Amino acid sequence: MHSSMSGKIEKAMRYAHEPDRVTFESFQATFAGDNGSHRVTLSDDALRCDCHLFDAAGGCTHTLAMQKMLDPMLTAAARETTLYGRADAVDSNEAVPV
């Protein structure tokens, strides 16, 4: 292998362990939840999900889990998606087991 190419690969391997070098601006992902798959998206510094809890509460287990997985690669604003962004909209009986 050409020596400059092996240097590039070494650098890539080092980068692969430095996730804070990457900031996601947008993405769309399928989240395999326990009760079905959900579409999680990131755009405009906000995580969103197509599940009914997100609709009701402005946050859900799927967005919270993605936030934890991707934390170093999210903007400060995207890190602030809360589990219950609109806590007043959630019936306590619908609380999600953590």
Positions that interact with Zn ion (CB under 5 A) = 38, 49, 51, 54, 60, 62
- Residue 76 beta carbon to Zn ion: minimum distance, rounded to whole angstroms: 22
Query: Considering just the CA atoms, what is the radius of gyration of the chain in Å?
Result: 17
Maximum C-alpha span of the chain = 62
Of residues 11 and 86, the one with the C-beta less far from Zn ion: 86
- Residue 53 beta carbon to Zn ion: minimum distance, rounded to whole angstroms: 6
Of residues 62 and 83, the one with the C-beta less far from Zn ion: 62
Neighbouring residues of 54: CB distance < 8 A, sequence distance ≥ 6 = 48, 60, 62, 63
